[in-house]
Amino acid sequence: MELKIPLVEETPDFSFYEKRFKALADQKRLHLLSILCKQGPRCVCDLTEALELSQSKLSYHLKILLDADTILKEKKGTWNYYRINNEVIDHLLSEELCCLFRPAK
């Protein structure tokens, strides 16, 4: 007699999404991403003015987005320029993610 073990659906690794969604769960960071998306790479001096944030508060938000890989940093001379990480953002907005949270038909 053969023992049949029920198939258990494998749970996806949600840690990839968790860090990124936490980074996106803030109005200032969403505004920051919107600016970078519309205007392209920007230095901190441009962003502090546009977001009306002190440099220390902006640095805090930038670090969270950098840690979540949603933005990238490039040093040019003495300035750091920040830009959208299109690969990560495209993945977050993909059909693959949508399918994880839609009921099967």
Task: Tell which residue, 32, 27, 56, has the closest CA to residue 46.
Answer: 32
- With a cut of 70, which residues of the chain have pLDDT below it? 1-12, 96-105
Q: Residue 102: what pLDDT?
A: 64
* Domain at 16-100, CATH class: mainly alpha
Q: Write the DSSP symbol of residue 71.
A: E
Q: Residue 89: what pLDDT?
A: 87
Residue with tokens 């902006």: 58
In which element (H, E) is residue 62 found? Answer: helix 55-67
Task: Tell which residue, 45, 100, 91, 39, has the closest CA to residue 68.
Answer: 91
Determine if the pTM surpasses 0.95: no
Sign of torsion over alpha carbons 93, 58, 37, 40: negative
Q: Residue 16: what pLDDT?
A: 78
Domain ranges of the chain: 16-100
